[in-house]
Structure 1
Amino acid sequence: MPLVAMLATALTACGSDESGGKAPEGKTDGEKVTLRFSWWGSEVRHKALLEAIDIYTEANPNVVIEPEYGGFEGYYQKLVTQFAGGTAPDLTPLSVDWIDEIAVKGDLVLDLNTLKDYLNLDAFDKEFLDSYAVYDGKLVGLPMGANGMITLYNKEFFDRFDIAHDTVWDWETIHTIGKQVHEKDANAYLLGMFDYRIFLQPFVNQLTGNQWIQNDKTVGFAEEDVTKAFSYYQQLIADGVIQPVAESSLYPDMADNLQWQNGNIGMMFTLASTIAKVKTYTPGVDVAMFPVPSDAKTSAVLVNPSNPLAINKKSKHPEEAAKFASWLLTSEEASLVLKDVFSVPVVKANADKLVEEGLIDPTVAKAVDLALSNPGEPVNGLSSNQELNQIAQDILERVAFGKVAPDAAASELTERLKDKLALIK
């Protein structure tokens, strides 16, 4: 179902404010209020957010917003250190992978339902918020966009190797076509980096139909399911379907991978929100559905809010932070500045306006529509737990380098996850 259609029903039913959220903006009175707003991203995102801040503070002269921004690498470590030291910013987007530690277990950000008088929540699709931004009954942040995992491919690469653009991808097709590509050109690979989130978890979820980690703190798979995933991964590496891990590991962000930029890698699995950055290096890209086998018990297609914007529980000015967040994510004025730097806006009126004026990259819009057409079950908090994810990632990397056999890796993974889950309160 297209994004605009998905949002229409709920927005019509709740009678949302067609002003696009200007009501919560307000004017501040009295003493000057200073808010720290931190984020990560590309130069395009930085420029857009800085412009939006200038617009808001000009209309609200008693508010000072101090921007803090940079790249993604190291952002999480810096943020948790700031929270631990009581120096975290008033506002920060969250990656969905951090929500369990920061918002649920850590209880470090406000439940935005407590600030509803300062937020234009009616502008959002309630079903989307409830499914993707509410954890343990707590609205952890306002979605900065609708995001989804898709297959992003280089059109020129596909043409060079006679790969049909309308190929329906599953794991078998990837192996078959990827092997053919590498046999034709030993320097070419169908795929770049694989990691826990874009391969291991969805592959196993498709086999089981379960959450990776169940809500009762048990693993949602059998060892044989993970053995199958590890064996498949080793086969991709052996047959040259995927770029050697010794090379791909040098680039945590696939967009920066020189082999990708030079046209020697055909496709990647990524979120819609990353497409703008990828296009700065490789403009000739298109999107396809994430691989889903015909017998999959769930698509496991990741759909989530693009970086829910959260408010620090220790903010001295939560109401003013809420007013700014609401304006930033619901006003038409802000949407015309941000465009699709956080993927497609969740607010229907703004998405419609941007589509109408051609201000959303059509590839991004297509990517979100694809993901939303067959979403997997929303990932629960435990399945996004950073410590649990790191265990899986470490073992996946050891499998990739041939340091552990698939069956031994599956056994180790299962036992280590169980041991860590026993320590999680």
Structure 2
Amino acid sequence: MNIDSWFSRLLGYPRLFLTLVMAVVLTGSVLTWSLPRTGGDDNITVLRFAWWGGAARHQATLKAIALFEERNPGVKVKAEYMGFTGYLERTTTQIAGRAEPDLMQINWAWMAMFSKRGTGFANLDDYAHLIKLKQFDPADVDMGRVNGKLNALTASYTARVMLWNESAYKRLGLPLPKTWDELFATGEAFRKLKGENAYPLDGELYDMILLSQAYVHQKYGTPYIDPAQPRVAMSEAAALEWVRTYKRLIGEHVATPLPLRASLGGAEKPTEQQPDWVVGNWAGNYTWDSLIGLRESTLDKDQKLVLGDFPTLPGAVTSGMFGRPTIMYAVSRHSKHPEMAVRLMDFLLTDPEAGRIMGKTRGIPAVASQRAVLEADKVLPELELRANAQIRAQRQAGRVPMPSPLFEHARMQKFMREVFETVAYGKASDEEAAKRLVDDGNALLHRIK
């Protein structure tokens, strides 16, 4: 049959022709179409699901999606995935145009950007009957609330831990530091025993900002930003000590200086890509427990990482440990199929087989049922399990207070980095930097909110 005769026959069936013309209708953020079949029409629901990550996360998530589709005939999930670079910009544009995906992977801090009053995403409390919320720790559920509305659920929880290259310390005959005093003393010991290019601790600028804040949080009982309201919680005296603690880490040869890191291929070059880390010249790292695998991946075979004690001042009521959700899922408030989007979210977060497929590509799962599967399959590295247990013990003891999401707001991050860069390069006095952290910090928080 040639194309002309085929088209003529097609025109003889006006109902079929109209169905084909209207086959695809794009409304909001959901793509839905009906295909004529013998014996009736089958409705196919297409959900858009967006996330960022690397190849391992992409492959595992696609396999989990295939299982969800298999269990839910008539549902197709359109995967929209990419690397982290550009993801926030794309999501911002989509939300502004009310064209965001039905289900979105988001950072915890983004709730403060997209849902200031708790109405930026679908309220998951309205779909609680579709979610196995009892499998979550109540504290984890509360991390997704904004103004009392459940905006998102966390896939995992992460916090900062101390990692030490045990082999490097043993070769120098030094004990692993357990207290702040021992940590500061180790800087001069490294310089004396191994030279100017050896440091007991490496970290990017943000790592050292957080470690310095931990010391001040323990001493003064408050973090930089009030967790309950948009204001700087530190006094100017506390902010001054924050600046001076950072300078002490650098000045006493404890941590790699910012100018040095900048000269070695970029100030934000990851620790595992630093040659001095690989061979053990830089022998420690203050980092997220979810990054332990990366830090280990490049070490020479004769180097061994261990989990260290978190240094704590005597009498401190908080550990100062900085923790937050690793990754969260939120449902679009414009979704035409919110219930199915919630079902997909619940499947990814709580289903044991989904957990087995995705492994720890989004961190060690927050839900115990998925974590138990991975532990039984022995796919969780021992060091990561120990770090996870250390963090959970601190949280259960109430020693890891929830930080303000505004602390990781993009504009606040830029501001803090700028202030500490002026300190790192000697372009501001300690007092000037502290005053900026309080006065300019409060002004910025007011503008953000």
Q: Do both proteins adopt the same fold according to a TM-score greater than 0.5, normalized to the shorter chain?
A: yes
SS at match of 2:321: coil
Question: Which has the higher mean CA deviation after the structures are superposed, 400-409 or 197-206?
Answer: 197-206
Q: Which residue of 1 aligns with 2:245?
A: 232
Q: Aligned-pair distance for 1:65?
A: 2.2
User: Which stretches in structure 2 are left out of the alignment for 5+ residues?
Assistant: 1-40
Q: Aligned-pair distance for 1:262?
A: 4.3
Q: Which residue of 1 aligns with 2:261?
A: 248
Q: Which residue of 2 aligns with 1:21?
A: none
Q: Which residue of 1 aligns with 2:17?
A: none
The one of 391, 400, 404 equivalent to 1:371 is: 391
TM-score by length of 2: 0.79
2:341 is equivalent to residue 321 of structure 1: yes
Q: Which residue of 2 aligns with 1:221?
A: 234
Q: Aligned-pair distance for 1:299?
A: 1.2
8 A contact 2:109–2:406 mirrored in 1 = no
8 A contact 1:208–1:297 mirrored in 2 = no
Q: Which residue of 2 aligns with 1:22?
A: none
SS at match of 1:195: helix
Q: Aligned-pair distance for 1:377?
A: 1.1
Tell me, in whole angstroms, the C-alpha distance in 1 between the residues paired with 2:78 and 2:393: 39
SS at match of 1:143: strand
Structure 1 residues 256 and 55 mapped into 2: Cα distance closer, same or farther (>3 Å)? farther
Tell me, in whole angstroms, the C-alpha distance in 2 between the residues paired with 1:157 and 1:101: 43
8 A contact 1:332–1:350 mirrored in 2 = yes
Question: Which has the higher mean CA deviation after the structures are superposed, 87-96 or 366-375?
Answer: 87-96
Structure 1 residues 388 and 333 mapped into 2: Cα distance closer, same or farther (>3 Å)? same
SS at match of 1:308: strand
2:195 is equivalent to residue 185 of structure 1: yes
Q: Which residue of 2 aligns with 1:270?
A: 287
Structure 1 residues 263 and 84 mapped into 2: Cα distance closer, same or farther (>3 Å)? farther
Q: Aligned-pair distance for 1:329?
A: 1.0
Give the aligned residue type for 2:197: N
Structure 1 residues 338 and 316 mapped into 2: Cα distance closer, same or farther (>3 Å)? same
Q: Aligned-pair distance for 1:60?
A: 2.8
2:174 is equivalent to residue 174 of structure 1: no
SS at match of 2:158: strand
- CA deviations on 1:201-230 (whole Å, 9 max, x unpaired) are 433322321243233433211112121121
SS at match of 1:226: helix
Tell me, in whole angstroms, the C-alpha distance in 2 between the residues paired with 1:195 and 1:31: 50
Structure 1 residues 238 and 358 mapped into 2: Cα distance closer, same or farther (>3 Å)? same
Q: Aligned-pair distance for 1:424?
A: 4.2
- CA deviations on 1:251-275 (whole Å, 9 max, x unpaired) are 3543444443443322222222222
Q: Which residue of 2 aligns with 1:14?
A: none
Q: Which residue of 1 aligns with 2:106?
A: 94
- CA deviations on 1:45-81 (whole Å, 9 max, x unpaired) are 2332222122222333422223333433443333323
8 A contact 2:118–2:145 mirrored in 1 = no
8 A contact 2:140–2:154 mirrored in 1 = no
The one of 408, 415, 421 equivalent to 1:397 is: 421
Question: Which has the higher mean CA deviation after the structures are superposed, 319-328 or 274-283?
Answer: 274-283
Q: Which residue of 2 aligns with 1:111?
A: 123
TM-score by length of 1: 0.84
8 A contact 1:289–1:371 mirrored in 2 = no
Q: Percent identity?
A: 26
Structure 1 residues 234 and 344 mapped into 2: Cα distance closer, same or farther (>3 Å)? same
* Higher gyration radius (CA): 2
Structure 1 residues 275 and 401 mapped into 2: Cα distance closer, same or farther (>3 Å)? same
Tell me, in whole angstroms, the C-alpha distance in 2 between the residues paired with 1:269 and 1:305: 18
Q: Which residue of 1 aligns with 2:14?
A: none
8 A contact 1:303–1:372 mirrored in 2 = no
Ranked by relative contact order (alpha carbons within 8 Å, sequence separation 6 or more), the top structure is: 1
SS at match of 1:72: coil
Q: Which residue of 2 aligns with 1:332?
A: 352
Tell me, in whole angstroms, the C-alpha distance in 1 between the residues paired with 2:166 and 2:89: 36
Structure 1 residues 207 and 42 mapped into 2: Cα distance closer, same or farther (>3 Å)? farther
Tell me, in whole angstroms, the C-alpha distance in 2 between the residues paired with 1:274 and 1:231: 28
8 A contact 1:210–1:221 mirrored in 2 = yes
Tell me, in whole angstroms, the C-alpha distance in 2 between the residues paired with 1:410 and 1:47: 46
Give the aligned residue type for 1:141: A
- CA deviations on 1:144-196 (whole Å, 9 max, x unpaired) are 1232221123333333333435x4142x3222112321332322222222317
User: Which stretches in structure 1 are left out of the alignment for 5+ residues?
Assistant: 1-28
SS at match of 2:68: helix
